[in-house]
């Protein structure tokens, strides 16, 4: 794409420009750090765009959102940030609209579900950068030994878990509702129960009858029957659940593409199926997206747009997705990945993306509500827990925070 297409407007300055990007690290070692990905991309970009330099600083996920927040607070916002949430910055008027920086073909190429999730008040500010969906993973060896097939309903999942427990499987179903990522496991179950965090018009509906029924079933039919292993769900984190699956100790759990490599590296044979619903396939799977955003502070709208058009080229989107076992955020790259037989293991995740449902990231209250869920939801399924009471409390606080804006 040419610079004249990007952003549909002129430059706010002339001469050499240095763009600053703060990005999250998706790697698990120095060898595959995201810094390496960005360094190679920037080198190629600068070779074809004299007059524009791009400086990329990569931080681990534990730090990157805070780093950007601190930079913005002291009046030193980067030109771009690739982090976990955009709504707070959009709400304060600190971001360019996507249409102000991206060329029309690039903006139109985003997967529709992700475009919608990047909107606040029907205007897109968040540009999806990485995506994944969830599937139910099961240990083929453990299932075969018990004569089981992959479950398609909740009752089948519970029966399979009971059979695995009878054969001495340590964790028939891993239910990570610990503080690391409880909001993800919870949302997947709420979706499979027919509801979710918000209703059709985007209002929080955590304490709906369907959601209460879902957590009550988990409490009574899985946790209460000892089918979730020796660690209480409220204390089990996602990373620990994944590690246990890779050790062959888990019969089933919800997972994203990263788990495939973890399990394969340890020699665990696994299958993947859509998350079961009450009486059939769940109406939707959970989707997750991370976001790119462009800050107005430094006024480099045209240069930002030209660079982001390059970032979102099919070649670069595919390169990033392949490097980190993530799903492409553009339709063109998704179609290219689906057509490549070498990506067969990611096809089930790709198939789920168009109908996936994402966190309500367009709400400025979501970060606080998510933190509340992480702290409280595990208690709901404990032996003395109250699904209805916990959800009612979460709903009250969510409504208050949403009203506060």
Q: What is the pLDDT of residues 255-275, one digit of tens each?
A: 999 899 899 999 999 999 999
What's the rounded Cα separation, in Å, for the pair 214 and 274? 17
Higher-pLDDT residue of 94 and 15 is 94
Model confidence band, residue 12 (pLDDT cutoffs 50, 70, 90): very low
Mean pLDDT score, 285-308? 96
Two structure tokens written together for 107: 């903006």
Q: Model confidence over 176-203: pLDDT tens digits?
A: 999 888 999 999 999 999 999 999 888 9
Tens digit of pLDDT for each residue in 74-89? 999 999 999 988 999 9
Residue 44 pLDDT:
97
Q: Tell which residue, 60, 67, 66, has the closest CA to residue 33.
A: 60
Does residue 128 have a pLDDT over 70? yes
Joined together, the tokens standing for residue 156 give 């089948």
The larger pLDDT score, comparing residue 128 to residue 201, is at: 128
Pair of tokens at residue 377: 């939801």
- 292's CB contacts (< 8 A; 6+ apart) are 80, 81, 82, 126, 127, 128, 129, 308, 311
Quote the pLDDT of residue 7.
Answer: 33
């Amino acid at each position: 794409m040419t610079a004249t297409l990007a952003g549909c407007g002129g430059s706010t300055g002339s001469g050499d420009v240095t763009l600053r990007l703060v990005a999250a690290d998706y790697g698990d070692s120095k060898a595959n750090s995201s810094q390496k990905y960005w360094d190679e991309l920037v080198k190629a970009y600068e070779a074809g765009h004299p007059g524009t330099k791009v400086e990329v600083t990569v931080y681990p996920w534990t730090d990157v959102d805070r780093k950007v927040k601190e930079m913005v607070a002291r009046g030193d916002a980067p030109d771009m940030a690739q982090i976990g949430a955009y709504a707070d910055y959009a709400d304060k008027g600190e971001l360019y609209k996507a249409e102000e920086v991206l060329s029309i073909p690039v903006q139109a190429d985003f997967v529709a579900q992700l475009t919608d999730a990047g909107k606040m008040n029907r205007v897109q500010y968040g540009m999806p950068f990485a995506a994944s969906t969830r599937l139910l993973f099961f240990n083929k060896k453990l299932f075969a030994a018990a004569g089981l097939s992959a479950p398609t309903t909740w009752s089948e999942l519970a029966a399979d878990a009971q059979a695995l427990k009878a054969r001495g499987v340590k964790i028939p179903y891993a239910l990570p509702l610990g503080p690391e990522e409880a909001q993800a496991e919870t949302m997947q179950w709420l979706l499979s129960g027919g509801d979710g965090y918000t209703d059709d018009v985007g209002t929080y509906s955590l304490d709906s009858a369907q959601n209460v029924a879902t957590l009550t079933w988990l409490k009574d039919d899985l946790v209460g029957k000892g089918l979730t292993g020796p660690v209480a769900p409220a204390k089990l984190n996602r990373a620990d659940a994944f590690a246990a699956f890779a050790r062959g100790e888990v019969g089933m759990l919800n997972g994203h593409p990263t788990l495939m490599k973890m399990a394969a590296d340890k020699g665990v044979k696994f299958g993947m199926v859509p998350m079961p619903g009450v009486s059939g396939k769940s109406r939707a799977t959970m989707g997750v997206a991370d976001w790119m955003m462009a800050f107005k502070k430094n006024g480099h709208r045209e240069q930002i747009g030209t660079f982001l058009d390059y970032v979102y080229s099919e070649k670069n989107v595919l390169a990033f997705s392949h490097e980190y076992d993530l799903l492409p955020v553009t339709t063109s790259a998704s179609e290219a990945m689906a057509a490549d037989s070498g990506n067969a293991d990611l096809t089930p995740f790709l198939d789920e993306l168009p109908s996936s449902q994402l966190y309500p990231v367009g709400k400025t209250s979501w970060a606080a509500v998510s933190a509340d869920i992480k702290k409280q939801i595990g208690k709901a399924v404990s032996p003395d827990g109250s699904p209805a009471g916990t959800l009612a409390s979460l709903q009250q606080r969510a409504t208050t925070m949403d009203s506060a804006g």
